[in-house]
Chains A and B, each alone.
Chain A
Amino acid sequence: MDMKVTKKKLGLKDKYKLMTRDLGWEPSYHSKDELYPYMNYEGIKIHDWDKWEDPFRLTMDAYWKYQAEKERKFYAIIDAHAQNNGHLNLTDARYLSALKIFLQAISPGEYAAHRGFARVGREFPGVGPQVACQMQAIDEIRHAQTQIHAMSNYNRYYNGFHAFADQRDRIWYTSVARSFFDDAMSAGPFEFMIAIGFSFEYVLTNLLFVPFMSGAAYNGDMATVTFGFSAQSDEARHMTLGLEVIKFILEQDPDNLPIVQNWIDKWFWRGFRVLGLVSTMMDYMLPKRVMSWREAWDIYGVENGGALFKDLARYGIKPPKGWDDAEKAIDHMSHQFMLGLYQWSFGTAFHAWIPSDDDMRWLSAKYPDTFDQYYRPRWEHIKKLAAAGTPFKNYGLAKLCQTCQLPTVFTEPDDPTLTCHRETVYKGEKYHFCSDGCQHIFENEPEKYIQAWLPMPQLFQDPVNGDLGEWMKWVSLLDGKDNGDYAGSEDQKNFEAWRGLATTNQ
């Protein structure tokens, strides 16, 4: 064989092509439809997978090298954090409610994303998108694990973390996040990519991660800050993938536009509802607050999202249908959520509390048009009840939205004094919704959403049969430890005692 001595100089792009898409081939022993069976049923038309532009170029050797470096740092820091009782550096143990919600509801979502990306990483008949999705699949299990590992030490000292795996599947409020990810995974591969890759990772992730990780930093939670920083470069890759996916689909065929627009409308609203919990964390649960939910929305929603949809306008994409309703909800939602969480706190594996006078002053300043008018009076009333020894608890069952699974605690977009409630009758059954957005989503795919597992009806079935104590056992909730008001809780007493040990000579 006559070999050349000097090798051709390959550019980065060509080299990466040889390392990825050149590995694929046209099958001939089976049809492409047989090997990639889920490509057509959603109606998306792809004519040329080769037009896919790799959103990043990372061969496996480089991936292992970079990721191992980050892993070494991450575990060194959380080991030190555990060893030195880093949890006593928290501003206050109230902060942990945010972490408990995260571990019960969001970390399982990371795992679901791992499996979802593995599936699409197999199902797309193009090596470029397959490799990009597979890398996200392996990143997502990383995120699930680093989060569990970071919070494991908190579990040793504080309540509410210990049963996250049971509560992921059984407790009522985690079904908000669970149903979101189940919805995406049960959709076809293209919709999954728009749901998670684009809407969640690109449009909404900043609203989740930036406030969360900044909140951790502001409140002395070194463990969470560390996984946030460590995940950042992964997230950057995921965002470029999300954007490439939508552009690729839209450039392939004009018929794809209405399908994609419909998914954007749907997933924006689904995501907005899930992120509602973040609003409560930002405005109520962080002892030391980073910024208000309104301020975060103005930056990451209005500014960034606005720029994005301006950029996508050339494909004919319009901002999501629920955008205006979302904007109208921003000044209300955190208060509505926290009021709900407080009155149902007997049924949550985290604590809620009545905001202090200082907290309420801050809320008035950040929400000048809404807080004093609509929400302060309710908190003042609740405060009086608590002072009188008759704290406000709502043992009535929350009516859950069939789509987003949140209690229907929201108000009409144009009337903050009126609770928003929608109904649809489908095949003789009545279904309830929290908003127009959720009702529309149901009506587009009723056969999907009638299957939703709703945690409230479960209360009246075996093994619970309407008994609150049995229910608590079933969801692994320790009454008097995990739930209720932060004031007077074990977490509060322990944190103060331990911190006293560490900072005084008593």
Chain B
Amino acid sequence: MQIDLRTVAIQPQRQAFDHLVRRFGDKAASRYQEGSYDIQAAENLHYRPTWDPDHQLYDASLTRIVMADWYALKDPRQFYYSTYTLTRARQQETAEANFSFVESRGLADMLPDAQRAVALNVLVPLRHAAWGANQNNTTVCGYGYGVVFTQPCMYHAMDNLGVAQYLSRLGLLLGDTEALDAGKKAWMDDATWQPLRRYVEDCLACRDPFELFVAQNLALDGLLYPLVYERIVDQHLSAQGASAVAMLTQFMSDWFDETRKWVDAVIKVAAAESEANRAVLTEWIRQWSARAASAMVPVVELALGSGADEAVGEQLEAFKARVLKTGITL
């Protein structure tokens, strides 16, 4: 039956679901709000986990951070599944175009050997670090509390996997499977990579979801992404005629610019919640960023040689300035 309703006005009975009216007032809710707020079970959880009987199935006390309302940790991008996938689908189109541009014009083969070696030596082992990041964000999603905090971590985890896969493709394009083998060997055995691998494995052993969020998404990635993708790829390699590499890592640069705003927003709200939170966050960020910085020095040396210390030092200052804006003084 086809009903023509052009002239029929029907009065809605209500604007939004009750839980959203309580939070945001009696008005239409956005799809982000509908898909995120209060959709995790909160009361009358039935059984304690057999794998962790001291805690509830969803348990805010798994972290030292205390929030009166975990739904305060809003994602400024307001990503729910749809807006997330649409955003990444557009970015992957660009990435695909970049890869085929480099491939079709033989730009990979034209790279000077020295720069190609730097690109491979620095970037390929990082596919393993990105896989570590994927598992860490999956942990935060799995064990964190409140959908607005955990949901973007799942998206972030899938992004980390995407980054690992783009790095793998880059390795294959510039150095075939041998490059991936060599990268993995370096990740496992070379002294250069051991501080970073240790950092990632320490993160994997960390079971406080918020500390893990800090260690991975703020401290490590907050140094690694600008050092590797801005300084080494976009500046150093491009200046030496290897800008093709920057085309292959554009996804990572754009992604870092976007996601850091979310990470900062989460930290800012958690720090503003209480002095106790601020103290815990300060302690975590200090510890993990100092370790991340020293783990990055040998990696940056692969590209910048003796300039690595200075580059990491500058980046650490920039990082402190960034963190200061979230209300935390390091």
Q: Name A residues whose Cβ lies closer than 8 Å to a Cβ of B.
A: 1, 3-5, 7-8, 10, 18-19, 22-30, 34-35, 37-38, 41, 59-61, 63-65, 67-69, 71-72, 74-75, 84-85, 88-89, 108, 111-112, 114-115, 118-119, 121-122, 127, 130-131, 134-135, 137-138, 141-142, 144-146, 148-149, 152, 155-159, 161-166, 168-170, 175, 178-179, 182-183, 185-189, 220, 448-449, 451-453, 455, 458, 476, 494, 498-499, 501-503
Contacts and interface: CB of A to CB of B under 8 A. Distances in A.
28 contacts: A1-B113, A1-B117, A7-B173, A25-B184, A27-B201, A34-B205, A35-B201, A38-B51, A60-B159, A61-B166, A67-B89, A68-B85, A69-B89, A84-B5, A88-B5, A111-B147, A137-B138, A141-B35, A144-B35, A149-B31, A163-B17, A166-B19, A169-B43, A175-B46, A182-B41, A186-B47, A186-B50, A501-B8
A163 B18 contact: yes
B128 interface: yes
A60 B205 contact: no
Given A18-B177, A22-B180, A22-B184, A85 B57 contact: no
Contacts of A8: 176-177
A188 B43 CA distance: 22
B105 to A, nearest CB: 14
B22 to A, nearest CB: 10
A142 B84 CA distance: 10
Contacts of A137: 138, 141, 154
Interface residues of B, number: 93
A89 B131 contact: no
A156 B12 contact: yes
A183 B48 CA distance: 9
A35 B46 contact: no
Contacts of B3: 85, 88-89, 499, 502-503
Interface string B166-190: 1011001111110010001001100
Contacts of B127: 23
Interface of B: 1, 3-5, 8, 10, 12-19, 29, 31, 34-35, 38-51, 57-58, 80-82, 85-86, 88-89, 91-93, 95-96, 109, 113, 116-117, 120, 127-128, 130-131, 134-135, 138-139, 141-143, 147, 150-151, 154-155, 157-159, 161-162, 164-166, 168-169, 172-177, 180, 184, 187-188, 197-198, 201-202, 204-205
B5 A502 contact: yes
Given A8-B176, A178-B46, 13 more contacts: A1-B175, A24-B131, A26-B188, A29-B201, A30-B201, A35-B204, A141-B81, A145-B35, A170-B43, A182-B47, A186-B46, A186-B48, A498-B10
Nearest to B5: A85
Nearest to B46: A182
Contacts of B184: 22, 25
A71 B58 CA distance: 29
Contacts of B49: 185-186
Contacts of B92: 60-61, 64-65
Given A161-B17, A166-B19, A188-B51, A134 B138 contact: yes
Contact of A60 (B10, B31, B165): B165
Residue from the set A145, A175, A179, A451 with the largest chain B CB neighbour count within 10 Å: A145
Contacts of A121: 138, 142
B205 A453 contact: no
Contacts of A35: 201, 204-205
Contacts of B5: 84-85, 88, 502
Contacts of A22: 168, 180, 184
B174 to A, nearest CB: 8
Given A137-B154, A448-B47, A165 B39 contact: yes
Contacts, number: 270
B74 to A, nearest CB: 16
A438 B58 CA distance: 25
A423 to B, nearest CB: 20
Contacts of B81: 71, 138, 141-142, 145-146
A437 to B, nearest CB: 18
Question: DSSP majority for the B interface?
Answer: helix
A188 B18 contact: no
A458 B43 CA distance: 12
A134 B88 contact: no
Contacts of A24: 128, 131
Contacts of B176: 3-4, 7-8
A146 B41 CA distance: 18
A29 B128 contact: no
A85 B159 CA distance: 38
Contacts of B187: 25
Contact of A5 (B18, B82, B95, B109): B109
B14 A162 contact: yes
A178 B42 CA distance: 11
Contacts of B50: 41, 186-188, 448
A60 B172 contact: no
Contacts of A30: 201-202, 204-205
A148 B39 contact: yes
A339 to B, nearest CB: 27
A21 to B, nearest CB: 10
A162 B157 contact: no
Pairs A-B, 10 closest by C-beta atoms: A68-B89, A60-B162, A145-B35, A23-B131, A118-B142, A119-B142, A182-B46, A169-B43, A156-B12, A186-B47
Nearest to A137: B154
Given A30-B205, A68-B85, A148 B165 contact: no
Contacts of A170: 43-44
A343 to B, nearest CB: 24
B71 to A, nearest CB: 12
A27 B205 CA distance: 11
A122 B139 contact: yes
Nearest to B189: A28
B51 A41 contact: yes
Residue from the set A23, A67, A108, A168 with the largest chain B CB neighbour count within 10 Å: A23
A118 B198 CA distance: 24
Contacts of B13: 156-159, 494
A164 B117 contact: no
B14 to A, nearest CB: 6
Nearest to A449: B47
Contact of A452 (B47, B89, B143, B174): B47
A131 B158 CA distance: 9
A114 to B, nearest CB: 7
Contacts of B165: 19, 59-61
A113 B120 CA distance: 39
Contacts of B175: 1, 3
B168 A18 contact: yes
Contacts of A189: 51
A61 B39 contact: no
Residue from the set B142, B159, B164, B169 with the largest chain A CB neighbour count within 10 Å: B142
Given A27-B201, A65-B92, A122-B135, A165 B142 contact: no
